[in-house]
Structures are given as structure tokens and as C-alpha cells.
Amino acid sequence: MDLETYKIQITGRVQGVGFRPFIYNLAVKNQLVGSVSNNANGVIIFITTSKVKANVFLNSIVKELPKVAIIENHTIEKVSIKKFENFKIIPSKTGLQIQIPITPDFAICDKCIKEINSPTNRRNNYAFTTCIHCGPRYAITKKYPFERQNTTLRNFKMCKNCKAEYKNPSDRRFHSQTNSCLDCGITMELTENSGKICVVSQNQIIDKLVELLHAGNIIALKSTNGYLLCCDANNIIAVSNLRKRKQRYNKPFAVLYPSLKQVKLEFNLSEKEKMDLQSIIRPIVILENTNRFTLNADYIAPNLNQTGVMLPSSTLLQLILQKINKPIIATSGNAHGSPINTTKKEAIQNLTTIADYFLHHNLKIEFPQDDSVIKYVNETKIIIRRSRGLSPNYLNTENLEETKILAMGAHLKSTFTFLPNQHIYVSQYFGNLNNYDVINRFKVTIQKYISLFNTNPKTILIDKHPQYQSSILGKELLKKNTKNVIEIQHHKAHFCSVLAENNLFKINKKVLGVIWDGTGLGDDYKIWGGEFFTYQNRKMERINHFDYFNWLANDKMAKEPRLSLFSLLSNEDRKCIKSKFSKTEFKIYCKLSKNNTLKTASVGRLFDAVASLLNIIDVNTYDAEAPMLLENIAKKCDSNKPIDLLEKENYDKIPSQLIVKKILKLKQKKYTKEHLANSFIYTLALLIIREAKKNNIEIIACSGGVFQNLVLLDYLFQLTSENKIELKINRKLPANDENISFGQLMYYQNIKN
């Protein structure tokens, strides 16, 4: 047999997932000699063996891959012969220019759950139990590659037992970088709201905490992604106290359930939803309430008829939930509008007026994240918020002509996208950049990425809106070290995000881009938000839009749906909505609309107007409340056929005013609000199809916050399939402004006009 040395290079999510131990064990099983190590591009393996055995080995790597690993690419080549005596794991070199995905956080695995529940196991009740397949990763990453000394766990020295596991190839914690136990690991501290420490041993803290939850207390507890605010979901007084203290009166709370079994008792679950709830991502899954739902929906998610449900993502939460054995509220630990808290200092500063007790621990969180949120439209998964478990990697893109680019995103649902090398990193969701703490978190995270990849951006992409904090910050970065800053129009960025996600840049056919959202500054300095574009051959054109209407009273317009309604009604029709305003207000708005110059095509505001017209809501208490409530009302229409509100109408621009007028007339004829809300959304879906047919286009790509509307998507799936049109939407990224930073990058790389 001819012995040769083969070099196998594997790229993808291969660090922090137990990949090297997996390779080691597979090599030993196959009686191979050689080595495995992390390198800049992933994992590199050398084996000295026959050609046949080398290929057999590569095949079994691909086939037997650990569940949490993802292979993007693999190569095998013959190199000059190397002598090995056995098979070795070689420690990583430092200072590498890393070109691999960052490993996201993984939820606790079944084997670890078994261990914490086994009275004889040395990790019984240990709240930070992890293994090579589970535990925090991105949250605690300080540097590359994913080795213990490069994470915040470096402050914890492994005890004898842990070290032995780490060194033992047949142990499931062989080379587990997050390995720790009660003797050497992370410690917790339970305090009263005054800061006074509750004197209990580490082993009793969770029992005590569960007792406090049972008694109706609100607890700020630090999980491995940041602080959460928790209370008994059955306890109406506790939940309403949490609402009052957080000044979050109506916005839905997520509910953490102890087990899938209990979720099944209260909700109808599809197979896909079951899988997602239990996946390593462990997101919040939005589920329709059923008549078996036992919690008080008015307190959990007022007027929405749905609940955000999740299962424990960390070992700490797992222990608490199985002990309390009933659902608890688990919402991000932050003051109103601020980012999720991560340090004891921040938590005490911001949450003392909210929480009765605090559970701190001493593991530093480097990258704090909220929980990710998903929902299903029939069989299609939609991402509502992309954070823990999902961010920051964006895999599988082509056409990256230039690297070292930082895209700053939008303003309200901020993210940034960094392209330091051939990998795209789309940050987690940060929130509204009007908030000072959010801006700081955003800035600090950008700086951390720059140092993590040891790469300064050469080009910075910003939104066209000069007052977006992300645009301002982008220009500030320019002063320091960058070559150029380029402005990209908001809706064009949205369109590029959906084109890129569906690999449509190279397609020969024309694509219709339907980009609908709340606001975004247009090329004509009007507020766009109801846009139709075409894309072909690297060129993009705006071909139609909703008819412009008055944007009144600046920021108030987005907060008060009644203002959008006021703006969209004629002087005559406004008389019917006088009762929604005080006399003075009504006068002021009449005057304002006479002299108004700022115009908008926003479909988001059209949704607001219809919600107000149907007396669903006049003033929002949280972002996007009106369209969410409207969606819920529209879902309730089951007996009546939807009406095409624009049937037999001739129009060029989409007549926003006419749509509202028609609904008003039908409302006066006593049509139900459920029927009218549903007809409104049905009409929007129809006019997308009409626009495609008018332009002879067979592929539609939709993006923008409006396309998180379940009823609209449902109609679109139905109508496009009836009309043999292909429908493309955002799948890996949310349809809302979270995709702007990625879209900016894709615009810069692909559009040539």
C-alpha cells in the first residue's frame, strides 16, 4: 500500500462545535495517524494513509458530522509526505486573520439536561452545565479562534475533574472550551432589590428563586445572553406590576414554558413549530391562541390572540422552569426602549425600579442578545427578530467583489453588516437608535467587530437619511480611517436584500420588487414606503408607487394612526372622524394639512389609517401596534368573501385615498370591521398581482416591514400560485429594517446604475 499525506481543509461552522474532538475520534476509529487544528479558514486535517482510506475518511466526516456543525466547503489534496506516530489535536495559533463564521449560541442539549437532573452526577443542579454541543459561544467570544483563553470563561480555571474530561478523548467534554462545574465554575448571587444578599448556598439558589416566583415577585435574572425579567405568567398581579413598572402597557410579553408537553396542552403545533421550539436556536415562536390556552391573554398579549412561546435556552433557565413547572413571563431585562442589560452594574442601575429580586452571576457577557423571534405562515417560516442563536453569520453568498465594507443599516430596527473577508456578518438586532444606550451598544459592538477581525472598513455604506443615527455614526467613522462613505436609498436596500437572499442578481428575467414599509427617505426627498421597482441586469428602476399623501406632525404621524386617517380623508369625509380629536387638535391638523409640503407613499401609514377608520386603534402604545391589531381583526373574518376594493377602477399611481374612501363607504353600509380589514389586505395582494401582469413580470420579490403581515403573505402565496407567478420573500433575515444593512452591502456589490 502506497502511503501519502493528504491535507483536508474544511470551512463552515466548524469551531466551537466539537469539531476537532469529532475528527480525533473518527481518525482513531479508522486507525489513522495525523493531526487536526483550527486555522484561519476553518479546520485543517493532515493524514498519512492510502488514497482510498483518505477519501473514505472524508466521506465519513461529511456523513457523521456533529449536529451543530455546518460544512460550507471541503477540499482534499496530496501534499509532501509527513510522518506521524499517532493522531493529535494541535492547539490553535494566535493572531490569525480569521475567515470563518462566528459560532452562535447553542441551547442546552438533552444529554446535559439528563446530567443536571441525575442526583448522582457531579453536575446535578449546576446552572452552567455545557458540553461540546451546547452552551454560549458568540455571547462569550472575545477573540478568534474559539479557544477557552479567547472567551470570557478564561477567568475560570478548570478543576481536576473538568480538566480530566477535557483531556479524555472518549469523554463527551473532550476539548469542550466552555467546560466547568460547581467546583470550578460560574457562581450566582441572589439579592433583594435593595442589594442585600439572600444568604443561600449555590445549591439552594434556584429553589429559593422558584419560591420567590411562586410568591408573585418579579426577578431580574441573568441568563447567558443578558438579563431577563421574569414572573409567574399565571399571576395577574405580578404580570400587571411588571407592565406598570416597565411602562410597557400593551406590548406582548414572551412566555417561557417548562416543556414541549405543556406547550402542546395549550397550543396546536405543526411539526415545524415543534422542531423550532426544541432547536439549538430555541427562538420565541409566535403561536395562535386556542380555547385550551389557560393564561390570561389580556395580560400577556392584549388583543392579539397569539402568544410568543419559548422553551428554556440556557441551563439556568432549564433548572428554574423544571422546578417551577409552570409558564413564566420572560422579557428582555431593560428599561423602556433601552438595550438588554448585561452587567450587574447596568442591571442595578436600570432594573431596580422594576425587579423585586436579582439573580446575578459572574460570567461576563461579551455580546448581549435578545431572544430571536419567528412565526409561520402556513408552512413558511418568517423571521421577525434575528438575534440569539441566529446572528451574526450570513452564509452562502456569491458576488462579493470587494471586501472590508461596513454597512450601517437603518434607524428603528438597527443592525449593521460587516464584510471583513469573504464572510458576511449581520449583527444582532439592536433596536431604536433614538435611544442613547442603544446607540452606545451599537457603537461598541462595531468597534468589537473591527478588533475581532482585526480589519478596518475601507468603505462605509449608510442610509440616505442624514438624520439617522447610523448615518451620522457612519460619517464619524469616515473621519477616522475610512476612504469613502456611500449613501444608499432605503427601499433599494430592502429590494437588494430579498434579491440576494434568493440569488436573483444573475437571473435573466425581470424581477418586480414590491417594497412596502413605514418610512424611508426617497430619491425625490419624499417619504417613500409603497414602492414598486424592477430589477434586471444589475439595474434597478422605480416604476410605480402609492399616491403621495400628506405626512403631518413629524414623528407623531407614526405614533398616531388617527393622523394617517385624517391625512387620507377629504375635507368632507373628515367630519366623520372629528370625535377622534379635541376641537383644538382638529383645527391645528386642518391648518397643517393646508400648508403641508412633506409627502409620503407609506403603506405602513395606510395600514394605520385603516386601523383607525375601523376604530381598532387611534394612538399606538408600541411600534407597529396598529398593523398587528389590524392583522388580528382581519384573521377573524372567516365567513365573508373578501371584496376587491379597486375593482373596475382605473388608476395609474396606487390610489391610497380611494382605498380609504371605499372602506369608509362600506363601513357606513354596516360591513363588519373584520370583513373590511380582510378586504383591505386582500386588495393590497391583488394590486401586486396586477402590477406584475401589467409589466409582464413572472417573479415578485417582496420586502419591508409590511411583509411580516400574515394575512397579506397568505393571500400572496395563494394568488401568486393561481397566477403562476414566483413569489420571493426574505427568509434568513427579517423583512423589516433589520435587513437594511445587508441590503446596503448587496446594493453596493451588485447594482450598477
Please choose, out of 174-182, 200-208, 236-244, 328-336, the segment that lies near Zn ion by the rule CB under 5 A: 174-182
Instruction: Kindly tell me which of 152 and 459 has the beta carbon lying closer to Zn ion.
Output: 152
Please choose, out of 39-47, 124-132, 335-343, 371-379, the segment that lies near Zn ion by the rule CB under 5 A: 124-132
Maximal C-alpha separation, the chain? 96
Q: Select from 40, 71, 76, 159 the one that contacts Zn ion (CB under 5 A).
A: 159
- Which alpha helices (H) appear in 46-135, and where do they start and end? 51-64, 110-117
Question: Is 285 near Zn ion (CB under 5 A)?
Answer: no
Write down the least CB distance from residue 114 to Zn ion, Å. 9
Q: Identify the H or E element spanning 632.
A: helix 625-635
Residue with cell 367630519: 575
- Residue 378 in grid coordinates: 402556513
| Burial label, 727 (beta-carbon count in 10 A; 0-12, 13-18, 19+) | buried
Nearest to 173 by CA among 165, 183, 182: 165
Question: Is 44 near Zn ion (CB under 5 A)?
Answer: no
- Which alpha helices (H) appear in 307-456, and where do they start and end? 315-324, 344-351, 436-452
Write down the least CB distance from residue 684 to Zn ion, Å. 46
For helices 583-595 and 561-568, give the axis angle rounded to 10 degrees: 50
Q: What is the DSSP letter of 314?
A: S
Instruction: Kindly tell me which of 163 and 575 has the beta carbon lying closer to Zn ion.
Output: 163
Question: Is 131 near Zn ion (CB under 5 A)?
Answer: yes
Calpha distance 627→603 (Å, rounded)? 10
Question: Is 162 near Zn ion (CB under 5 A)?
Answer: yes
Instruction: Kindly tell me which of 133 and 413 has the beta carbon lying closer to Zn ion.
Output: 133
Contacts of 491 (CB under 8 A, 6+ apart): 515, 517, 520, 522, 528, 529, 531, 533, 704
Give how many residues touch Zn ion by CB under 5 A. 9
Question: What is the per-residue binding string for Zn ion in 53-82, x denoting contact by CB under 5 A?
Answer: ------------------------------
Please choose, out of 151-159, 241-249, 272-280, 487-495, the segment that lies near Zn ion by the rule CB under 5 A: 151-159
Calpha distance 224→209 (Å, rounded)? 17
Whether the Cβ atoms of residue 39 and residue 71 lie closer than 8 Å to each other:
no
Please choose, out of 21-29, 180-188, 217-225, 682-690, the segment that lies near Zn ion by the rule CB under 5 A: 180-188
Question: Is 116 near Zn ion (CB under 5 A)?
Answer: no
Instruction: Kindly tell me which of 20 and 464 has the beta carbon lying closer to Zn ion.
Output: 20
Whether the Cβ atoms of residue 565 and residue 609 lie closer than 8 Å to each other:
yes
Sheet with 227-232, strands from edge to edge, namely 188-192, 357-361, 219-222, 227-232, 328-332, 254-256, 306-310, 284-288, 373-377, 380-385
Instruction: Kindly tell me which of 67 and 665 has the beta carbon lying closer to Zn ion.
Output: 67
- Residue 750 in grid coordinates: 451588485
Using CA atoms of 305, 311, 317, 321 in order, give the dihedral in degrees to the nearest 10. 70
Write down the least CB distance from residue 136 to Zn ion, Å. 12
Write down the least CB distance from residue 3 to Zn ion, Å. 38
Cβ neighbours of 265 (radius 10 Å): 13
Whether the Cβ atoms of residue 105 and residue 138 lie closer than 8 Å to each other:
yes
Please choose, out of 181-189, 329-337, 534-542, 691-699, the segment that lies near Zn ion by the rule CB under 5 A: 181-189
Instruction: Kindly tell me which of 184 and 507 has the beta carbon lying closer to Zn ion.
Output: 184
Instruction: Kindly tell me which of 132 and 218 has the beta carbon lying closer to Zn ion.
Output: 132
Question: Is 319 near Zn ion (CB under 5 A)?
Answer: no
Please choose, out of 184-192, 234-242, 398-406, 518-526, the segment that lies near Zn ion by the rule CB under 5 A: 184-192
Angle (CA) 118 120 123, round 5°: 65
Interaction residues for Zn ion, span 426-445 (CB under 5 A): none
Write down the least CB distance from residue 213 to Zn ion, Å. 25
Beta bridge pairs of residue 541: 534
Write down the least CB distance from residue 51 to Zn ion, Å. 37
Write down the least CB distance from residue 176 to Zn ion, Å. 9
Write down the least CB distance from residue 157 to Zn ion, Å. 9
Residue 532, classed as helix, strand or coil, is strand
Write down the least CB distance from residue 204 to Zn ion, Å. 20
Write down the least CB distance from residue 280 to Zn ion, Å. 10
- Which alpha helices (H) appear in 397-489, and where do they start and end? 436-452, 469-481
Please choose, out of 82-90, 158-166, 198-206, 315-323, the segment that lies near Zn ion by the rule CB under 5 A: 158-166
Whether the Cβ atoms of residue 586 and residue 553 lie closer than 8 Å to each other:
no
Instruction: Kindly tell me which of 89 and 159 has the beta carbon lying closer to Zn ion.
Output: 159
The residue type at 540 = M
Question: Is 181 near Zn ion (CB under 5 A)?
Answer: yes
Q: Select from 134, 153, 558, 606 the one that contacts Zn ion (CB under 5 A).
A: 134
Residue 204, classed as helix, strand or coil, is coil
Residue 43, classed as helix, strand or coil, is strand
Write down the least CB distance from residue 554 to Zn ion, Å. 51
Whether the Cβ atoms of residue 408 and residue 474 lie closer than 8 Å to each other:
yes
Whether the Cβ atoms of residue 208 and residue 197 lie closer than 8 Å to each other:
no
Question: Is 109 near Zn ion (CB under 5 A)?
Answer: yes
Beta strands in 272-430, from DSSP E residues, in sequence order: 284-288, 306-310, 328-332, 357-361, 373-377, 380-385, 393-394, 405-407, 417-419, 424-426
Question: Is 183 near Zn ion (CB under 5 A)?
Answer: yes
Instruction: Kindly tell me which of 127 and 461 has the beta carbon lying closer to Zn ion.
Output: 127
Write down the least CB distance from residue 112 to Zn ion, Å. 3
Please choose, out of 11-19, 156-164, 290-298, 409-417, the segment that lies near Zn ion by the rule CB under 5 A: 156-164
Instruction: Kindly tell me which of 32 and 131 has the beta carbon lying closer to Zn ion.
Output: 131
Write down the least CB distance from residue 370 to Zn ion, Å. 23
Instruction: Kindly tell me which of 186 and 452 has the beta carbon lying closer to Zn ion.
Output: 186
Please choose, out of 84-92, 157-165, 276-284, 698-706, the segment that lies near Zn ion by the rule CB under 5 A: 157-165
Write down the least CB distance from residue 361 to Zn ion, Å. 16
Q: Select from 58, 68, 112, 218 the one that contacts Zn ion (CB under 5 A).
A: 112
Write down the least CB distance from residue 223 to Zn ion, Å. 16
Question: What is the per-residue binding string for Zn ion in 526-565, x denoting contact by CB under 5 A?
Answer: ----------------------------------------
Nearest to 393 by CA among 9, 751, 11: 11
Whether the Cβ atoms of residue 309 and residue 277 lie closer than 8 Å to each other:
yes
Whether the Cβ atoms of residue 106 and residue 137 lie closer than 8 Å to each other:
yes
Write down the least CB distance from residue 162 to Zn ion, Å. 3
Please choose, out of 161-169, 196-204, 329-337, 462-470, the segment that lies near Zn ion by the rule CB under 5 A: 161-169
Question: Is 184 near Zn ion (CB under 5 A)?
Answer: yes
Please choose, out of 127-135, 214-222, 249-257, 401-409, the segment that lies near Zn ion by the rule CB under 5 A: 127-135
Binding residues vs Zn ion (CB under 5 A)? 109, 112, 131, 134, 159, 162, 181, 183-184
